[in-house]
Amino acid sequence: MAGEKVSTTNGVLNVPNNPIIPFIEGDGTGPDIWSAAVKVLDAAVEKAYNGEKKIEWKEVLAGKKAFDQTGEWLPQETLDTIDEYLIAIKGPLTTPIGGGFRSLNVALRQELDLFACLRPVRYFTGVPSPVKRPEDTDMVIFRENTEDIYAGIEFKEGTDEVKKVIDFLQNEMGQKNIRFPETSGIGIKPVSKEGTERLVRSAIQYALDNNRKSVTLVHKGNIMKFTEGAFKSWGYDLAEREFGDKVFTWNEYDKIAEAEGREAADKKQGEAEAAGKLIVKDAIADIFLQQILTRPKDFDVVATMNLNGDYVSDALAAQVGGIGIAPGANINYETGHAIFEATHGTAPKYAGLDKVNPSSVILSGVLMLEHLGWQEAADLITASMEKTIASKVVTYDFARLMDGATEVKCSEFGEELVKNM
């Protein structure tokens, strides 16, 4: 096929003018939103570079389409192709609940070791939101993407396996706290120092590169001491060890407060802020979910584990208008591999209706263009999105909450974006 591979040299991406980018269309509403998105992405690249640059799309299969054509939900060829071409984009994939195969989305992240799930949350003027000042929400989530209870180490109630695990926990580890051992399923939550460090390192580096003010480590370390609590401690240690005087941490604050009092600690933090240092702090997950609503301006970059990150990204998306407009990327900052994808799922009840909002996957494409260094094309789409929303031409999800909106189909919204570029 025409086009060339994206590659890396010493951690720097080499992007040809005609990069081959694999895409997965996705299940449910995936084909609807992908069809709208690809036209917008192509039009932006064409317009930004007068035809000098062009993405050569290469379809790879996953989900139902893969199963129907190959008998496998996630063919090895798909993994190999993304591994080879480095950068890919995908629509949502269905995961059955309570049984059946494990998440293909999670499998893609784990197989390709895409350890950081990057989910920026910003407001587009005019988008209907349940909060009074949605523009105050401007955060970037770094969700750990390869471990935590998402590792899939689970044992089903009533099986020989779970009996063995419970027997081990009770009789060899002296655990007395399994309330109903005869009828329990068991899940295991691995959280490692390496996994934490590479995630927190990328979050801090991102914050420094993008002039953000703080990184908040979000955890439930008071309850899960050796997983979520360790995430916090390892995060602070890494920040101080690797980023030295570029950061000021609440760990340092606590030490100063203990030795010299809170006033001295406040003074040091004030000086650090005035000197433009990045503040690395932490929050326990429950109060964090309250404070992102009550005082969103206090938060900027957020680094957290897999499950917290899943919850936090949908909650924050709601504040700026919902998951119809929330983009994401799964990235390995060490190898350069990345898969861009929307935050939402397959929304099956709308499949094939040409109805849902394609903005999440389009804005994921914007993240991809930025990652490729094609900022001009990315900016064209962002500006067009702002203009189109301001003109109140929107899909059903925004139209039902907006006065005087013109509701358009998924494909028509894409066409409107192209027109407004």
Ligand X SMILES: NC(=O)C1=CN([C@@H]2O[C@H](COP(=O)(O)OP(=O)(O)OC[C@H]3O[C@@H](n4cnc5c(N)ncnc54)[C@H](OP(=O)(O)O)[C@@H]3O)[C@@H](O)[C@H]2O)C=CC1
Residues with catalytic roles = 150, 220, 286, 310
In the complex with ligand X, the residue whose CB is nearer, 129 or 216, is 129
Terminal C-alpha separation, the chain: 29
Tell me how far apart the alpha carbons of residues 7 and 107 are, in angstroms, rounded to a whole number: 23
Tell me how far apart the alpha carbons of residues 70 and 352 are, in angstroms, rounded to a whole number: 22
Tell me how far apart the alpha carbons of residues 135 and 359 are, in angstroms, rounded to a whole number: 18
Q: Rounded to whole angstroms, what are the CA distances from 47 to 323, 372, 380? A: 28, 17, 8
Side chain identity, residue 230: A
Q: How many residues bind ligand AKG (CB under 6 A)?
A: 6
Q: How far is the CB of 311 from Mg ion (least distance, A)?
A: 8
Within positions 334 to 393, which residues make up the interface with ligand AKG, using CB under 6 A? 343
Instruction: Work out whether 144 is an interface residue with ligand AKG (CB under 6 A).
Output: no
Instruction: Work out whether 170 is an interface residue with ligand AKG (CB under 6 A).
Output: no
Q: How far is the CB of 342 from Mg ion (least distance, A)?
A: 10
In the complex with ligand AKG, the residue whose CB is nearer, 137 or 343, is 343
Structure tokens at 251: 């760990």
In the complex with ligand X, the residue whose CB is nearer, 228 or 341, is 341
Instruction: Work out whether 397 is an interface residue with ligand AKG (CB under 6 A).
Output: no
In the complex with ligand X, the residue whose CB is nearer, 227 or 330, is 330
* Angle, in degrees to the nearest 10, between helices 359-372 and 375-390: 150
Instruction: Work out whether 145 is an interface residue with ligand AKG (CB under 6 A).
Output: no
Tell me how far apart the alpha carbons of residues 42 and 48 are, in angstroms, rounded to a whole number: 10
Burial of 271 (0-12, 13-18, 19+ CB in 10 A): exposed
Of Mg ion, ligand X, ligand AKG, none, which one sits near residue 106, judging by CB under 5 to 8 A according to partner kind? Answer: ligand AKG
Binding residue (CB under 6 A) for ligand AKG from 7, 35, 70, 103: 103
400 assigned binding-site residue? yes
282 assigned binding-site residue? no
Tell me how far apart the alpha carbons of residues 189 and 169 are, in angstroms, rounded to a whole number: 15
Tell me how far apart the alpha carbons of residues 303 and 358 are, in angstroms, rounded to a whole number: 27
CA dihedral sign, ordered 402, 394, 141, 212: negative
Within positions 297 to 316, which residues make up the interface with ligand AKG, using CB under 6 A? 310
Of ligand X, Mg ion, ligand AKG, none, which one sits near residue 346, judging by CB under 5 to 8 A according to partner kind? Answer: ligand X
DSSP 343-401: SS---GGGTTSS-S--HHHHHHHHHHHHHHT-HHHHHHHHHHHHHHHHTTEE-HHHHTT
Q: How far is the CB of 139 from ligand X (least distance, A)?
A: 19
Of ligand AKG, ligand X, Mg ion, none, which one sits near residue 360, judging by CB under 5 to 8 A according to partner kind? Answer: ligand X
- Residue 7 bridge partners (DSSP): 14
Instruction: Work out whether 17 is an interface residue with ligand AKG (CB under 6 A).
Output: no
Q: Which residues bind Mg ion (CB under 5 A)?
A: 310
What single DSSP character describes residue 323?
A: G
Pairing outcome for strands 329-331 and 116-121: antiparallel
Q: How far is the CB of 355 from ligand X (least distance, A)?
A: 8
* Coil, helix or strand at residue 405: coil
Burial of 194 (0-12, 13-18, 19+ CB in 10 A): exposed
Instruction: Work out whether 88 is an interface residue with ligand AKG (CB under 6 A).
Output: no
Tell me how far apart the alpha carbons of residues 32 and 361 are, in angstroms, rounded to a whole number: 11
Of 102-110, 194-202, 228-236, 253-261: span binding ligand AKG (CB under 6 A): 102-110
Q: Which residues bind ligand X (CB under 6 A)?
A: 29, 33, 92-95, 105, 323-324, 341, 344-348, 356-357, 360, 397
50 assigned binding-site residue? no
In the complex with ligand X, the residue whose CB is nearer, 242 or 314, is 314
The annotated binding site for D-threo-isocitrate is made up of 103, 105, 109, 119, 143
The annotated binding site is made up of 94, 103, 105, 109, 119, 143, 310, 344-350, 357, 396, 400
The annotated binding site for Mg(2+) is made up of 310
Contacts with ligand AKG by CB under 6 A lie at 95, 103, 105-106, 310, 343
